[in-house]
Amino acid sequence: MAADTVDVAVIGAGPAGLAAATQAARAGLSVVLLDEQEAVGGQIYRAIERSDAQRRTILGADYVAGAALASEFARSGARYAPNASVWQVTRERTVHYLKDGKVSSFEARRVVLATGALERPFPIPGWTLPGVMTAGAAQILLKSAGEVPAEPAILVGCGPLLYLLGWQYVRAGVPIRALVDTTRHEDRWRAKRHMLSALRAWPYLSKGLQLMRTLREAGVPMHEAADDLRVESGIDEDGSERARALNFSVRGVSHRIEANVILLHQGVVPNTQFTLSLRASHKWDDAQLCFAPVTDQWGELDVPGIFVAGDGSGIGGAQAAETQGKVTALAIAAQLGVIDTAARNRSAAPLLRRLADVMRIRPFLDSLYRPRDENRVPKDEVIVCRCEEVTAGELRSFVKLGCLGPNQAKSFGRCGMGPCQGRLCGLTVTEVIADARSVPPETIGYYRIRPPIKPLTLGELAGE
Amino acid sequence: MTSKPLFRVLSPASGTDAEPTILQIWFNDQPLSVPGGRSVAAALLAVGIQRFRATPVSGAPRAPYCMMGACFECLVEIDGMPSRQSCLVTVQDGMRIHSQEGARDLPPLSDLNPVENAHGR
């Protein structure tokens, strides 16, 4: 593939990337789809092509819907590079990637970044202990490996993915120790303001209500409006420290529930590593509490020829992502002259209407499942940067010494300088510093992200 | 070395769904039988490996957190190559895996090969 020029490079094989690649290839463009995983689907449709009947039954119809997308992509004529870690996209649209220990690069006339979402950091005491994982991680174990907690797990936090995982465990006959919900009662009231708009996305809303009903009918112990979360550690048979219990309060009453698997979730946020590394403009989204790249209605950044589709441009979910992928491909087909503007507009109109429809649920979800301040801006003793073990208290002491933002926090104490490159602490660092300095997160900004986006050995780099 | 597994493989619902192939690997020089057709991280979690690495700063134990290549908590050494993301590598028969203890070791000068880690110290 080296030294090639392709019409369109798509990065990420989730719903947005699959839809964009399929639509662009059907329009007659040469397309390469690169993805870090060994098979298409992204995280939402992970392992969709090889999941058996049992797994599909457990995971439900919304998951199985991904199979059609995968088979349309397979027939589209687009080239597919699995196990390919893209580590740099330049503003001139050179795509650098690592595959099978070798680095290669090629030029693309247009680039679609479809790198989706990451789970929002959930910094609470004990969140670094073995046995504490994200709900998304547990769902990936179910989708890709048919694995479930060996003993009943605790599901903690808020947001659709947490309840969906619970529903899937119930369908798999896997007992759940407890669902500890952090949604505040005042947020339930606040969310009602958006109910009218949410009702227009009724299929989604009704699915959510069914999930909750299934969990209640299955007798999953539910604790609502939980705060003061703390994972307690224990010592393993082999002498190693691990999670042993979750401590929390409900209206001032303390609770302690034992479990060796504790699954955290408080929503997902755009994965902005590429868009930040491209120095594209980003805006702080006060409803979704995250940074999102600024794009036009076709998904194009203020870096010409580079587009974002799917959750990477703001959280909308799988259906929105698929629709955005198609819209982006139409815009690219028009820019590259394989369709005219009138044809683009004609094909895009129903897609843009559909996008507006599926996004109607978002204001309701964003306000209902707004993660609590204390779970985003944690107490002093809580580790914020997992890689370099920097606590919120240390971060606040950097601010007292004159640290103004995330980039300076690196030189004050290596915060954000470990292998995850800030993926697991970036938003927390922004919000902790914003809180300590009493200025808005928008003013504080985010880490400056530089390539390589994925760690690369010098040996691999020298091989290009 | 191994403890009670945190995760288990769902047993097939019917005779038509295949049981996973069992592979032989080594973890910290101990032989282990693990289910195949999954990532190294998923295979190790299913057989009771709870501690994948120790942090370079305090030596605290860590294990997979995100399972999607973002958190780098599941770093292990695989067949002599340090700092592999075990959630992104498919488990293979005969793999020799070591937990990653702190910052990864520098190779001895005698067999210095260019496998520097951009983020190692």
Question: How do the pLDDT tens digits run along chain A, 464 residues long?
Answer: 445 799 999 999 999 999 999 999 999 999 999 999 999 999 999 999 999 999 999 999 999 999 999 999 999 999 999 999 999 999 999 999 999 889 999 999 999 999 999 999 999 999 999 999 999 999 999 999 999 999 999 999 999 999 999 999 999 999 999 999 999 888 888 888 888 888 877 888 888 889 999 999 999 999 999 999 999 999 987 788 999 999 999 999 999 999 999 999 999 999 999 999 999 999 999 999 999 999 999 999 999 999 999 999 999 999 999 999 999 999 999 999 999 999 999 999 999 999 999 999 999 999 999 999 999 999 999 999 999 999 999 999 999 999 999 999 999 999 999 999 999 999 999 999 999 999 999 999 999 999 999 888 888 888 75
Q: Which of A38, A130, A424 sits opposite B51 (nearest CB)?
A: A130
Please answer whether residues B3 and A238 qualify as being in contact, where contact means their C-beta atoms are separated by less than 8 angstroms: yes
Name the one residue in this structure whose structure tokens are 């993805």: A35
Dihedral sign of CA atoms A119, A376, B73, A416 in order: positive
Both structure tokens of A76 = 């589209």
Name every chain A residue with its beta carbon within 8 A of the beta carbon of B64. 133, 137
User: Distance from B94 to chain A by nearest Cα, in Å?
Assistant: 19
Rounded Cα–Cα distance for residues A259 and A231 (Å): 10
Rounded Cα–Cα distance for residues A111 and A113 (Å): 6
Distance set, CA A410 to CA A111, A187, A313, A399 (Å): 31, 35, 26, 12
Beta strands A31-34 and A5-11, pairing class: parallel
Name every chain A residue with its beta carbon within 8 A of the beta carbon of B104. none
Rounded Cα–Cα distance for residues A409 and A396 (Å): 10
Nearest Cα to Cα of residue B115 among A74, A455, A195: A455
Q: Do B13 and A54 touch (CB under 8 A)?
A: yes
The answer to whether the complex's ipTM is over 0.90 is yes
Rounded Cα–Cα distance for residues A94 and A88 (Å): 8
Please answer whether residues A241 and A234 qualify as being in contact, where contact means their C-beta atoms are separated by less than 8 angstroms: yes
Count of CB atoms within 10 A of residue A385's CB?
29
- Quote the pTM value: 0.94
Q: What is the pLDDT of residues A242-283, one digit of tens each?
A: 999 999 999 999 999 999 999 999 999 999 999 999 999 999
User: Distance from A341 to chain B by nearest Cα, in Å?
Assistant: 38
Q: What is the pLDDT of residues B34-91, one digit of tens each?
A: 999 999 999 999 999 999 999 999 999 999 999 999 999 999 999 999 999 999 999 9
User: What's the one-letter identity of residue A161?
Assistant: L
Please answer whether residues A48 and A41 qualify as being in contact, where contact means their C-beta atoms are separated by less than 8 angstroms: yes
Q: Give yes or no for a cis peptide into A452 (omega within 30° of 0).
A: yes
Name every chain B residue with its beta carbon within 8 A of the beta carbon of A452. 118
Q: Which of B37, B72, B114 sits opposite A462 (nearest CB)?
A: B114
Contacts with A15 (C-beta within 8 Å, 6 or more apart), sequence order: A42, A44, A45, A66, A69, A310, A318, A319, A321, A322, A325
Both structure tokens of A415 = 């915060």
H, E, C per residue of A20-88: HHHHHHHCCCCEEEECCCCCCCCCCCCCCCCCCHHHHHHHCHHHHCHHHHHHHHHCCCCEEECCEEEEE
CA of residue A336 relative to chain centroid, distance:
30
Question: How buried is residue A37: exposed, middle or buried, by Cβ count under 10 Å (0-12/13-18/19+)?
Answer: buried
Rg (CA), chain B: 15
User: Distance from B99 to chain A by nearest Cα, in Å?
Assistant: 13
